[in-house]
């Protein structure tokens, strides 16, 4: 049921992106906002569902396999979208994207993160799958299983590694680049998933753990918003 749900989300987002591309080409700002929102919604909704399957047997093979598979699927179906505020900062920093357009895309990413969370909570309330039972009663299911300083350093390091890999992989053929980045993300999740969740995406972190941001805004904003953004700026500064 969970796999069918995630595949349904991917299919629906693909249809919405195609309709937006056909109907809104003459409205570039609205088109950019909606495409980025649809794409980020797909990643956040699927990752919310994947987070419930982390304890599926055999552990951790099932969770890592699904992470790799759906990361590849996202890469193949969401071409042209960053779905990550940190990724949107790069063209803004380099002057390739106007400040207003970049801000619009970041706003779309956080709107999509909130919508995906509301949508998945509604789906979980229907209890269509065994994993959904009790999902709404978890509250702040904190992914931070270490000190704030260590969590900050881990998310910073992972952001630097990932953004550096993205830059280095630009010369690789797209069909191979998707698999390389998916493999890297899976490795980072395996290495740090039990400590911080290995998210390194501010919008995705908000969608997954909004309750934790409400309870401990300062610590969670430092680890899951400022650390990935700082990692991105370090890469941009070095290059």
Instruction: Record the tokens describing residue 78, joined without a space.
Output: 């969401």
Residue 130 has pLDDT above 80, yes or no: no
Looking at per-residue pLDDT, the higher value among 59 and 65 belongs to 65
Q: Count how many domains the chain has.
A: 1
Torsion of CA 210, 212, 213, 218, to 10 degrees: -170
Segment among 99-113, 120-134, 158-172 with least mean pLDDT: 120-134
Cβ–Cβ under 8 Å, residues 202 and 86: yes
Cα-based angle 83, 6, 128 (whole degrees, multiple of 5): 135
Ranking 13-22, 59-68, 152-161 by mean pLDDT, the lowest is 59-68
- pLDDT tens track for 147-205: 999 999 999 999 999 989 988 888 888 889 999 999 999 999 999 888 999 999 999 99
Assign 96 to helix, strand or coil: coil
Q: Which residue's entry shows tokens 């395996």?
A: 190
The domain of 223 spans: 2-238
CATH number at residue 102: 1.20.1080.10
**pTM of the shown model:** 0.93
Which long-range contacts (C-beta less than 8 Å, at least 24 apart) are formed by 148-152?
148/219, 148/222, 148/223, 150/195, 151/195, 151/196, 151/223, 152/222, 152/223, 152/226, 152/227
pLDDT at 55 over 90: no
Instruction: Please give the residue that has the higher pLDDT: either 58 or 79.
Output: 79
Residue 138 pLDDT: 67
Average pLDDT of the chain to the nearest whole number: 90
């Amino acid at each position: 049921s969970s796999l069918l749900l995630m595949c349904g989300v991917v299919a629906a987002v693909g249809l919405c992106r195609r309709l937006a591309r056909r109907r809104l080409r003459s409205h570039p700002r609205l088109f950019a906002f909606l495409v980025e929102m649809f794409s980020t919604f797909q990643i956040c909704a699927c990752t919310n569902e994947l987070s419930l399957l982390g304890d599926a047997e055999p552990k951790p093979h099932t969770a890592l396999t699904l992470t790799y598979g759906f990361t590849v699927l996202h890469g193949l179906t969401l071409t042209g979208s960053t779905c990550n505020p940190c990724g949107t900062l790069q063209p803004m920093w380099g002057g390739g994207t106007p400040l207003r357009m970049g801000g619009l895309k970041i706003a779309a990413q956080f709107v999509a993160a909130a919508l995906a969370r509301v949508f998945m909570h509604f789906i979980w309330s229907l209890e269509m799958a065994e994993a959904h039972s009790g999902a709404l009663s978890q509250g702040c299911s904190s992914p931070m299983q270490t000190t704030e300083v260590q969590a900050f350093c881990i998310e910073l390091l992972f952001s630097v590694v990932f953004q550096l890999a993205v830059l280095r992989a630009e010369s690789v053929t797209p069909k191979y680049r998707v698999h390389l980045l998916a493999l890297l993300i899976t490795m980072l999740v395996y290495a740090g998933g039990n400590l911080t969740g290995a998210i390194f995406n501010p919008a995705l972190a908000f969608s997954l753990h909004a309750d934790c941001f409400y309870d401990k805004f300062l610590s969670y904003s430092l680890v899951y918003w400022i650390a990935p953004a700082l990692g991105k700026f370090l890469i941009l500064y070095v290059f």
